[in-house]
Chains A and B, each alone.
Chain A
């Protein structure tokens, strides 16, 4: 595979050059006083950080419904964020034309709920810091793809800590052309060689009910989910959670004075809705004020359901989402 070895400050100078055009933007991470956060760079690339050790939200969330043409945007994000972006492209929620999506090797993240000041931001100290995987969020520890191998191009870290830019699509080639130097063979050995594996998710309804009993139906999990893209959620109406007159009607109709809970229904239906598009980033759990282990459930279910169809969300722009396609000769044992 061909790619370019990135010189010290190479990304910054390339993207800085790119931003000279008024219509050009870079979406990535900015180093703040004591934290790193998502940032849209316009005009200059000051305080740019390629890596962000703290996870607060999935950046693809901010990209939903980008349709305007003309503004060229380079995304410099984590693989989980680029994967969510790819799914959103397939769902026509983003116009791909003016976006170059670059996935950057992710060494792991800690939760924004923890003391974030302790985590280093540079490549080498970060590698050292996350040598102990227990320090990472669970979602990162068992992440299916922390390598920058998705999207239009990737930034990979080799064994010596040097960065490499590798194109995957025509747009990736465009990105590569921004960088100085000539393309050369990329080393086979990278720092992150494989990704985490989770055991086949298995739970029972009692545990599920117990885990979700704390849910207050704030629906933050839905709102912060990068692939929960509906502009009008089915749970907004009265169908699943009768309120007001609908609640009174139900009471008079059924004679039952219990207030319908609906939260288990909400989570299970949402789980099915995102089952093929969930990237397992854990943004839902990050957003949950009640500390429900949402990632386990959503990631666990989606990996099982994607596995049935040999699908992996965000892996490719071409693979259709399994529920809108089929093979005539498949699932022969689906019938009971």
Chain B
């Protein structure tokens, strides 16, 4: 066996706390190792060339790359092997960055740990066999879940690129929250116009089907060919989608859950969204006194919402701006923690509203009490350290964005993960921000965290581009890590068949052994752990690989 070991410095990221030279030196003299090198960036062009040259020159039949975590650069390194005519499944990735150099500071201990991790890779890879990736057809159709601004913009892009688009919205009308927004900052366009423009384009296309008042009743199958059942007002509809974009948006924070705000008990206490919906219908006195409260349902550990909702500061500024424009002699006071006017031009807008006369008071508001003459706000001015009580004619709560009400339901339907705040979690925050951990399922818009209209449109388009790239190929590789039965060793006890979640194991009455239906196998390995003689085994994770990894961690070396 000829193994090549390539240890990455990752610039300073690994080298800083792991003695990479010592490691490459150590493994150079190891049995079965013919190349052991460390390099500044193994993922760089020269780094890849180094691997290719070693494979070709030394005739390597195993490649071990000790670098970042295996979920990064996976396909790229596999391609390096492919280009050198080496089966890509003879590659072993060892994470010595996320699981070693970044989690401890002691160079000696980290180096020792990295040595064990690489050793585990070396032992395990010794059992590797060439595997063939299966190719499956990918249906050029996309299911978009959610007809808000993000889902619509994704649909527009995909339909223009000729993909079949199925867009599902649970409400009767498309457009989500954006539909009610007026004069959207900074463009000044009404939300309805933006939505109508997109819907009109979609309605005019033959490759688009829009489903409103529709729920998804089942979702099965594998990427490239997901089987979807919709529950539409005109009955059940079955369709096949190559990929999915989840764009189910957000739920506005309900201030009713904070009793001290008295929201819903007095019509003079409203939210920014109420203000958007019927600002014109508000009945205010000649020179109204208006209070605007920031961070309602954001940056609040007590109610489990520690995050900043990003859009509410600008929303609050817009309320102040609107009041000042309409009532020149009004008294408008904003109670804030920090003003985080995120988007481009936000800071300037903040200054403009100040110039127009909106007062900004850094405060903790303790209570809002409706009185016959007005609404009393009691709180503490945190700059001067004084308590205050002031009366207003109108109180506007700048509410934050909560995760969508059905995020848990949708997440379990599509088997994707939510983050701790119950927003959808991306596969990698920087490198794969639109992907979920499930292949072919992407996320877009504020369901993955608070976003404004511009960001949601961009996010929708970006996910659509990612999905397009995936669909347009028309085929995809399937991991060959599926279960396999050795019929000579199978006792035919059918334990694996009973346990198999995917129902991929079938019993052969004549031979009295089981076999695996490749296409149905999900590759979890439950059968392997259930079989007492391991006659059924999961390719890529067979017993002796894991056994030897255990030994590598523990044996005397």
Contacts and interface: CB of A to CB of B under 8 A. Distances in A.
Query: In their complex, do chains A and B touch, with some C-beta pair under 8 Å?
Result: yes
Interface of A: 67, 91-93, 229-234, 239, 252-256, 273, 320-321, 323-325
29 contacts: A67-B512, A91-B491, A91-B493, A91-B495, A92-B492, A92-B494, A92-B512, A93-B492, A229-B491, A229-B493, A230-B533, A231-B533, A232-B488, A232-B491, A233-B533, A234-B532, A239-B544, A252-B31, A253-B31, A256-B556, A273-B532, A320-B498, A321-B495, A323-B499, A323-B530, A324-B495, A324-B498, A324-B499, A324-B530
Classify chain B: how many residues form its interface, as a range: 20 to 34
A155 to B, nearest CB: 30
A254 B556 contact: yes
B533 A91 contact: no
Interface string B484-519: 000011111111001100000001000010000000
Interface of B: 31, 488-495, 498-499, 507, 512, 530, 532-535, 543-544, 547, 551, 555-557
Contacts of B507: 92
Given A239-B547, A253-B31, A323-B499, A230 B557 contact: no
B129 to A, nearest CB: 16
B557 A254 contact: yes
A42 to B, nearest CB: 25
A321 B495 CA distance: 9
A255 B489 CA distance: 33
Contacts of A325: 498-499
B489 A232 contact: yes
B534 A93 contact: no
A198 to B, nearest CB: 25
Q: Say what secondary structure dominates the interface of chain B.
A: loop
A323 B495 contact: yes
Q: Say what secondary structure dominates the interface of chain A.
A: loop
Given A255-B556, A256-B556, A93 B31 contact: no
Nearest to B531: A230
B31 A91 contact: no
Contact of A92 (B493, B535, B544): B493
A325 to B, nearest CB: 7
Nearest to B555: A254
Contacts of A67: 512
Given A231-B490, A324-B495, 5 more contacts: A230-B532, A230-B533, A254-B557, A321-B495, A324-B530
A321 B497 CA distance: 13
A92 B533 CA distance: 15
A230 B491 contact: yes
A323 B491 CA distance: 17
B556 A234 contact: no
Given A239-B547, A253-B31, A93 B498 contact: no
Given A239-B547, A254-B557, A325-B498, A93 B491 contact: yes
A232 B544 CA distance: 16
5 A-B pairs closest in CB distance: A324-B498, A230-B533, A232-B489, A91-B493, A273-B532
Contacts of A229: 491, 493
Nearest to A230: B533
A273 B498 CA distance: 17
Contacts of B533: 230-234
A171 B461 CA distance: 67
Contacts of A255: 556-557
A128 B500 CA distance: 52
Nearest to A236: B533
Contacts of B532: 230, 234, 273
B499 A232 contact: no
Contacts of B544: 239
B491 A231 contact: yes
Nearest to A95: B512
B498 A234 contact: no
Contact of A231 (B489, B499, B547, B551): B489
Contacts of B489: 231-232
Contacts of A254: 551, 555-557
Contacts of B492: 92-93
A47 B239 CA distance: 71
A234 B547 CA distance: 13
A234 B512 CA distance: 20
A254 to B, nearest CB: 5
B405 to A, nearest CB: 23
A252 B491 CA distance: 35
A92 B488 CA distance: 17
Nearest to B499: A324
A256 B555 CA distance: 9
A273 B491 CA distance: 14
B27 to A, nearest CB: 13
